[in-house]
Amino acid sequence: MPLDQYRRDIHYLRISLTDACNLRCVYCMPEHMTFRPRHELLSDDELRRLITLFGRLGFKKIRFTGGEPTLRPALVDLVRHATTTAGIANVGLTTNGVLLDQLAQPLRDAGLTSVNISLDSLDEAKFRHLTRWGNLRDVQAGLAAAARAGLRVKLNAVVCRGVNDGADVVELARLTLERDWQVRFIEQMPFGNNAAFQTRGVVHETELLGVLRAAFGPLELIDGGRLDGEARLYRLPGARGAIGFISPVSQPFCADCNRVRLTADGVLRLCLLRDNEVNLLTLLRTGASDDDLEACVREAIHHKPWGHGLAQHVVPASRGMSEIGG
Task: Give the footprint of ligand SF4 on this chain (CB under 6 A).
Answer: 21, 23-25, 28-29, 66-68, 96, 118, 322
Backbone phi, then psi, for 187, in 5-degree steps? -75, 130
Q: Count other C-beta atoms under 10 Å from residue 58's C-beta.
A: 14
C-alpha span between 172 and 121 (Å, rounded): 7
C-alpha span between 114 and 102 (Å, rounded): 16
In our burial notation (b when 16+ CB lie closer than 10 A, e otherwise), range 17-56 reads: bbbbbebbbbbbbeeeeebeeeeebbebeebbbbbbbbbe
Q: How far is the CB of 70 from ligand SAM (least distance, A)?
A: 8
Q: How far is the CB of 96 from ligand SF4 (least distance, A)?
A: 4
- Give bridge partners of residue 65 from the DSSP assignment: 16
Q: How far is the CB of 274 from ligand SAM (least distance, A)?
A: 15
Under rule CB under 6 A, residue 112 binds ligand SAM? no
Q: How far is the CB of 117 from ligand SF4 (least distance, A)?
A: 10
End-to-end CA distance of the chain: 23
**Between 4 and 230, CB nearer to ligand SAM:** 230
Q: Kindly identify the residues of this chain, within the stretch 30-69, that bind ligand SAM according to CB under 6 A.
A: 65-66, 68
Under rule CB under 6 A, residue 28 binds ligand SAM? yes
Q: How far is the CB of 101 from ligand SAM (least distance, A)?
A: 15
Under rule CB under 6 A, residue 121 binds ligand SAM? no
Single residue of 2, 12, 20, 96 touching ligand SAM by CB under 6 A: 96
Backbone phi, then psi, for 114, in 5-degree steps? -145, 160
**Between 266 and 325, CB nearer to ligand SAM:** 325
**Between 11 and 184, CB nearer to ligand SAM:** 184
Under rule CB under 6 A, residue 244 binds ligand SAM? no
3-state DSSP assignment of residue 65: strand
Give, as one character, the DSSP assignment of residue 224: G
Q: Which residues bind ligand SAM (CB under 6 A)?
A: 21, 27-28, 65-66, 68, 94-96, 118, 156, 158, 186, 188-189, 191, 198, 321-322, 326
